[in-house]
Structure 1
Amino acid sequence: MPRRKKASPKKESKFLRNVAWILALTAVLLGSFIAGYYVGYDSAKKDIAQKAKAKEEKKLSMLKKLEESAAKTKESDISDRLKEVLKKDSKAALKEQESVGEYEDASHEVDGDVLPKPPKKEALKGVHKPTLAIIIDDVSVRSHVNAIKSLNLPITMSFLPPSKNRPNSHTLASKESFYMVHLPMEAKNFAKEEPFTLKVGDSQETITQRIAEIKRLFPNVKHINNHTGSKFTSNEGAVNRLIYALDKQNINFIDSRTIGSTKVPAVMKNYRKKYISRDIFLDHEFDKEYVKEQIKKAVAYAKEHGSAIAIGHPHQNTIMAISESKKLLGEVELVLVDRLY
């Protein structure tokens, strides 16, 4: 039987090398394919994510534009409605103003040419956003109320007590959930004095009776501020008699600060009561642009001190200035004045 020839070592080695090269090449190709697959997958994944992100950003941008457009439309609608209210009430308001004897500006509130500077005060504790309270004084007729309420803002209305020319001011106030009373007090230099104005020489009994009458007319009143009153509030004895009478009726006093030498802070300290006062007058001048600048000052003061009180009057320019300053007022929290206690 013939013997089988053994393969030579050289041929076996060459065969093994060829197999090894083939396997190595296969591994390289397979690895490249796998790597390419994953690289392509990641690239595609990133591309899809980028496209999705771009689509979402475009969507958000469109929504933002729609919201801005809606806001502008709403603001325009509110402004138009306000103008319509003012226009609608203009004849009635003119008639009311003639009978009431309103003033062109608020200079009647202050004694002297220079407004007294607001006192320094500490920022309110626990308040994260500055607060601003706007009080509208001299409210006494329906057109005033309509105009203020058309602003759709938390504005504090301070009603003058009823008199011959404004017999229904207390009735109008009774329909509001919150209001103040703007109490006439003696001024140093003011010709158009209101009926039943408190005088420096009034006795404790006279002042107590007047405050009791105010409480009867305005049963829900919790806050009173002074109408004029530069002479009255600069007399410590008169202020002491007033605060005593108000304390008996559980009514707070807010100093309109119609004179720099007001004695209200000293008296309030004696009674261990918090002193609250006006910081900015909005319409010491009648011009609308002036009022808007005063609103800026009020917002800046609130930001610096944590809170502020601004006082204006129910004139058309004041109402329109507030309406046109809504974006600016959004930088603070607009509140009713009782939030500052």
Structure 2
Amino acid sequence: MRFVRVFLLLGIIFIQSIADSIIDTSSTSESPNQTPQIPIVNGFKKLYSLHADNFIFLESLSPTHSIDANQTQDNTILKNPTISNKPKILLIMDDIQNASQIRQIQSLPLKIIPSIFPKTKYNPKTPLIAQKNAFYMIHLPLEAQNFEQKELEPIKVGTSKDNIYTIIAQIKQDFPNLLYINNHTGSKFTQSEKDMLNLLSVFDELGLKFIDSVTTPHPASEKISHQQKRLIMQRDIFLDNEISTTHTKAQLKLAIQKAQKKGYIIAICHPHTSTFKALKQMSDELNHALEFVTPKELESYLSSQAITHYTRERFYANAQ
């Protein structure tokens, strides 16, 4: 009986060793045409390799709505998940209109807020783009002094409040999680106190907030903010009004300096190749010096500091 037990034990060990050798052989003797099988896990419209830096975008995957507020779309926990003592930066990237631009934003180790164009007959799929990002804004075309884009019909000076409501309500329906809107162009519209009062009133009715891109030296939002004692956040600096990596990096350094002086800053950039290059090259320096926040996080911070009027840094000599 004792001999039988020993024999069975030796048999089990022998079988296990054969199984191990089979596994080892299958993992090391792949044919030249065979693709290594790398373990993957589901991410936000991506599959992430556990053993490689590469990932595959899956456009057909349904969007997830369980992303933590302190988590990016690539499942990377942000370095500063809570409001810290660092100077705050809200970095908005305007003119977003396709999934490729969103992917480029998500490839950077920075919390960048895309501002997406509303749905138009020329580009009806922008609401789908918004689903790829936990944080986003809408880039609302408003009438400019000397600029027109036929693809983007702006809200014009003199538009009735009812018509403004119809336009914004449709945008809200297309983007149900929308909270913040900034203006695309608008140098004429945003100077008009009457029109801005109508626009802001509609925003209030629909639970939306306005961030002024400041495309004119005389934005009516400043006067309205004082009159109504309401916080209206404003752009401090354009990073890439000159399209070059060198200029954008210089503007980023200037933004750091101004944020350290004031405590917070709103910067706007655009999806240029040179801009992505500058942001990538300076990502470590930016994350070290500043805390990247969402519009809601910045608004909460300003409220905690009892700031009811946004103090805008003047960058006309350097950035406009």
CA distance in structure 2 between the aligned counterparts of 1:144 and 1:287, rounded to whole angstroms: 18
Partner of 2:294: 336
CA distance in structure 2 between the aligned counterparts of 1:226 and 1:193, rounded to whole angstroms: 17
Partner of 2:264: 307
CA distance in structure 2 between the aligned counterparts of 1:193 and 1:295, rounded to whole angstroms: 32
CA distance in structure 2 between the aligned counterparts of 1:271 and 1:176, rounded to whole angstroms: 33
SS of equivalent residue, structure 2 residue 101: helix
Taking the TM superposition and a 5 Å limit, the aligned residue runs for 1:232-271 are 232-271=189-228
> Is it true that 1:160 corresponds to 2:117 in the alignment?
yes
1:35-86 Cα distance to aligned partner (Å, 9 max, x none): xxxxxxxxxxxxxxxxxxxxxxxxxxxxxxxxxxxxxxxxxxxxxx89x99x
Amino acid of the structure 2 residue aligned with 1:129 = K
Normalising by structure 2, we get a TM-score of 0.66
- 8 A contact 2:119–2:171 mirrored in 1: no
> Is it true that 1:201 corresponds to 2:165 in the alignment?
no
Deviates most, 331-340 or 278-287 = 331-340
Taking the TM superposition and a 5 Å limit, the aligned residue runs for 1:1-341 are 128-329=85-286, 330-341=288-299
Aligned residues: 221
CA distance in structure 1 between the aligned counterparts of 2:200 and 2:150, rounded to whole angstroms: 22
Q: Which runs of 5+ in 1 are unaligned?
A: 1-80, 89-125
- 8 A contact 1:296–1:328 mirrored in 2: no
SS of equivalent residue, structure 2 residue 94: strand
CA distance in structure 1 between the aligned counterparts of 2:162 and 2:153, rounded to whole angstroms: 14
| Bigger RCO (CA 8 Å, 6+ sep) | 1
CA distance in structure 2 between the aligned counterparts of 1:193 and 1:328, rounded to whole angstroms: 40
CA distance in structure 2 between the aligned counterparts of 1:259 and 1:194, rounded to whole angstroms: 22
Which has more helix, going by share of residues? 1
1:231-281 Cα distance to aligned partner (Å, 9 max, x none): 000000010000000000111100000001110122233343212100010
1:60-113 Cα distance to aligned partner (Å, 9 max, x none): xxxxxxxxxxxxxxxxxxxxx89x99xx9xxxxxxxxxxxxxxxxxxxxxxxxx
- 8 A contact 2:109–2:283 mirrored in 1: no
Partner of 1:107: none
After superposition, the Cα gap between the structure-2 partners of 1:211 and 1:191, relative to the gap in structure 1 and judged at 3 Å, is closer
CA distance in structure 2 between the aligned counterparts of 1:181 and 1:192, rounded to whole angstroms: 17
- The share of aligned pairs that are identical, in percent, is 38
SS of equivalent residue, structure 2 residue 188: helix
**Structure with max Cα Rg:** 1
- 8 A contact 1:257–1:278 mirrored in 2: yes
